[in-house]
């Protein structure tokens, strides 16, 4: 059974769970997927889910609204003046706290505060920003696929089945699919870590193997 989009994932979950005497679980499948995605958003901080968006501040306001699919912040840059100016991040609740300035100016620092980004100063004009963040896994009828479902449908299936069998109060099946889920997530994490360890390959010619050596100046 192919699992390449939201509808096929729902069908697969219901098919795997189907047992004699059980009621139709079709209407519950979207909930199982959504609950599974909540775990995936915590367990799989993948680089492919990192995106950029443009935010615009309002004069005399220090708040920027977070994107609806926000999971984790990465960086914020001021772009008003053409060049990008990196703004210093502060983590709410730990370490040094953001110092709030009262006068309007171009912001230089920021922190996450609930559903907003707080800037260190109110904007002195409608500043523009580039916000890089990790977005959520959130399949729907309008967002029918994503990188994880395309490349690792087994992760999505196991995540949905764990939630489905909890709904069915089937502890043995929950244990089975929880183990499968953990194994699948760990495999994706290993691949993610491996991709971050790519090394620079140097052209042998630059090292004197059949060509000019940039270190010695000799052919």
List, as one string, the DSSP characters of 29-46.
Answer: HHHHHHHHHHHHHHH---
Read off φ and ψ for residue 209, nearest 5 degrees: -90, 95
> Percent of the chain scored above 70 by pLDDT?
86
Q: What is the pLDDT of residue 137?
A: 96
42 Cβ neighbours under 8 A, 6+ residues apart: none
Q: What is the pLDDT of residue 24?
A: 83
Give the residue among 161, 153, 155, 156 at the shortest CA–CA distance from 186. 155
Q: How confident is the model at residue 96 (pLDDT cuts 50, 70, 90)?
A: confident
Asked if 79 contacts 125 with a C-beta cutoff of 8 angstroms, the reply is no
Read off φ and ψ for residue 29, nearest 5 degrees: -55, -45
In the predicted structure, residue 91 carries a pLDDT above the cut 90: no
How does pLDDT run across 51-78, given as a tens digit for each residue? 999 999 999 999 999 999 999 999 999 9
Q: Is 1 exposed, middle or buried (0-12, 13-18, 19+ CB in 10 A)?
A: exposed
Give the residue among 151, 128, 186, 141 at the shortest CA–CA distance from 33. 141
Q: Which of 12-21, 183-192, 200-209 is the most confident on average?
A: 183-192
Asked if 111 contacts 90 with a C-beta cutoff of 8 angstroms, the reply is yes
Two structure tokens written together for 24: 């139709």
Q: What is the pLDDT of residue 113?
A: 93
Q: What is the pLDDT of residue 23?
A: 75
Q: 129 - beta bridge partners?
A: 55, 78
Consecutive H or E run containing 137: none
Q: What is the pLDDT of residue 20?
A: 66
Average pLDDT of the chain?
89
How does pLDDT run across 132-185, given as a tens digit for each residue? 999 999 999 999 999 999 999 999 999 999 999 999 999 999 999 999 999 999
For tokens 């994932």, name the residue. Answer: 9
Between CA 137 and CA 215 the distance in angstroms is 48
Q: Note the pTM of the prediction, 2 decimals.
A: 0.80
């Amino acid at each position: 059974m192919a699992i390449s989009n939201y509808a096929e994932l729902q069908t697969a979950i219901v098919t795997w769970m189907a047992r004699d005497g059980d009621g139709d679980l079709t209407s519950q499948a979207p909930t199982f997927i959504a609950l599974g995605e909540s775990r995936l958003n915590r367990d799989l901080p993948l680089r492919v889910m990192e995106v950029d968006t443009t935010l615009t501040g309002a004069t005399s306001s220090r708040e920027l609204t977070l994107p609806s699919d926000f999971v984790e912040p990465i960086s914020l840059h001021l772009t008003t003046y053409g060049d990008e100016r990196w703004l210093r991040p502060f983590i709410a609740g730990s370490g040094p706290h953001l110092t709030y300035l009262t006068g309007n100016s171009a912001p230089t620092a920021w922190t996450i505060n609930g559903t907003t980004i707080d800037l260190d100063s109110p904007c002195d004009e409608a500043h523009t920003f580039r916000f890089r963040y990790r977005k959520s896994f959130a399949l729907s009828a309008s967002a029918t696929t994503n990188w994880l479902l395309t490349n690792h449908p087994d992760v999505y299936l196991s995540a949905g089945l764990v939630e489905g069998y909890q709904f069915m109060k089937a502890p043995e099946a929950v244990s089975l699919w929880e183990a499968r889920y953990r194994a699948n997530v760990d495999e994706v994490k290993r691949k993610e870590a491996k991709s971050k360890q790519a090394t620079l390959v140097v052209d042998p010619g630059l090292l004197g193997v059949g060509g000019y050596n940039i270190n010695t100046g000799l052919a």
